[in-house]
Structure 1
Amino acid sequence: MPGLVHIVDDDPSFLTAMERHLKHAGYDVAVYASAQALLDRLPGDSVPSCILLDVQIPDLDGPALQTRLRELGSTLPIIFLSGYRNIPLTVKTIKAGAEDFLTKPVSSEDLLRAIAGALAHHQSSQDLQNMLSMARARLSKLTPRERQVFDLIVRGRINKQIAHALGTTERTIKAHRHGVMEKLQVRSLAELVSLAERIGLLGGASDSQATF
């Protein structure tokens, strides 16, 4: 899978060697000699991307940069690189959302496997967010009455109960129900409930936990 790898390391020879290696492996590469250099050109997430981040870089170290990126809303997976094994630091960065933690010197096989996993993770996250955005956009097209009907349907109410609650007829509710299904592009009650859960309307899976 093609993708973009951002490398942050203050060792020029390491940056050069890593850039050459990853380009040879088919990736686009951007290199940064400091955390600030990355922040000055904050990477977007329009293409599958990840960050290879050295733990010990001057000024703003790796974990501090990880925190700053999350504060800025970055969703790019981070693979940490360190010259020594540090279990507490590894646990800390992974808990904070790091994709992986590799110890230098890292084998080409382990590096490429970690990058491929990070890029796949980023792509799936973007796909999920796109699906959620489309679902919300469709939901916004419902009329106020259709939205009322939708909210009651996904909470298990049948047409008769919905009609009673809204002071109308079952025939009218059936028409609204058809409009809801059509606008949300779902074919069954199960799909409708699943959509409501994914966008957080039933107190089930949150955006970060939702699955498709």
Structure 2
Amino acid sequence: MPLAADSPLVAVVDDDGLFRETISANLTEAGYRSVTFGGGPALIDWLVKGNRAAALLLDWQMPDMDGPATLERLRATGHELPVLFLTGLNQPIFEEKGLRLGAVDFVDKSKSFAIILQRLRIALAGKQPAGGAMQQGGASGLVLDVASARASWNGQQVELTHGEFKVVQLLAQRVGRDVGYREIYDAVRGVGFEAGQGPDGYRANVRAMVKRIRQKFRDLDPDFDAIETYPGFGYRWRHG
């Protein structure tokens, strides 16, 4: 069935031709139109000619102009479309850099297309946030900017990855209430995604992530103690 002319157009930039072809076919199957490019310069040239896309899936490692340089050029020329890095570089240092440059998400290429599609839908749905920066309920001192997935604590920016931001956002929305390991993990990875060893392996992933989050807040505020542990169940963001 042909796609409707008003179906969202997703741009894909990757130097791997087979990957571009596969992603494009998957997007079409999911109801999206797509346009693909082998590198950043071709995308920028396309945009300069007046073309527009609803979102961009962007590779990180490419010859001539890599993903970060492409994103910087886009933002410098006033293009504000949501950008999702789609890359095999899954270390937090790369994710943090991508988000600082203005990407809305950072997705491991090894994930199933179902996960990539879910992240894309979230990014498209977030194009018109209902209010930009907002303070989360009773989470005193914490401000979350949902549009850019950035957090600040007592006026200082906390360098959270996109996944870490989602955890903080979930806990802050439930101030004073316990949130279980599984719900926290689902908020980051998608409902039903399994990782780690054994059926409860996700617990170790959540514990490690919360440990990193706490440390990032404590790097700014050594007395930070807003995230409390509920042993055997999960975590809560305390009142006050």
* TM-score under structure 2 length normalisation: 0.49
Aligned counterpart, 1:30: 35
- Kindly indicate whether the alpha-carbon contact (under 8 Å) linking 1:81 and 1:104 is maintained by their aligned counterparts in 2: yes
Which structure's CA Rg is the greater one? 1
Say which structure is richer in strand: 2
**Alignment match, 1:75:** 80
Q: Report Cα offsets for 1:81-116 as digits up to 9, x if no partner.
A: 111312111101112221110112121221111111
Are 1:45 and 1:76, in contact at CA under 8 Å, matched by a contact in 2? no
Equivalent residue, structure 1, for 2:58: 53
- Report the Cα distance in structure 2 between the residues aligned to 1:24 and 1:98, rounded to whole angstroms: 25
Corresponding residue to 2:94 among 89, 93, 101: 89
Match of 1:102, as an amino acid?
A: V
Q: Give the number of the structure with larger relative contact order, counting CA–CA contacts within 8 Å between residues 6 or more apart.
A: 1
Matched, 1:100 2:105: yes
Instruction: Indicate yes or no: 2:125 matched with 1:120.
Output: yes
Partners of 2:89 and 2:71 in 1: CA distance? 19
State the partner residue of 1:171.
none
Aligned residues: 127
Equivalent residue, structure 1, for 2:67 = 62
TM-score (ref. length: structure 1): 0.55
Tell me the amino acid that sits aligned with residue 80 of structure 1.
F
- Please say if residues 6 and 30 of structure 1, whose CA atoms lie closer than 8 Å, have aligned partners that are also in contact: yes
Instruction: Specify the SS of the correspondent of 1:41.
Output: helix
Percent identity of paired positions between Structure 1 and Structure 2: 36
Q: Distance in 2 between matches of 1:115 and 1:103?
A: 13
CA deviation after TM superposition for structure 1 residue 2, in Å = 3.8
The CA deviation at 1:3 is 1.2
- Give the unaligned 5+ runs of structure 2: 1-5, 132-146, 149-240
5+ residue gaps in structure 1?
Answer: 129-207
SS in 2 for 1:42: helix
**Secondary structure in 2 matching 1:30:** strand
Moved over 2 A (4+): 43-47
Q: Deviations over 1:14-46 (max 9, x none)?
A: 011110010010001000011111011017686
- Match of 1:57, as an amino acid? M
Task: Select which of 8, 18, 24 maps to 1:3.
Answer: 8
In the aligned structure 2, how far is the partner of 1:45 from the partner of 1:75?
Answer: 13
Q: How far apart, in 2, do the equivalents of 1:67 and 1:29 lie?
A: 22
Q: Does 1:40 align with 2:42?
A: no
- Relative to total residues, which structure has the larger helix share, 1 or 2? 1
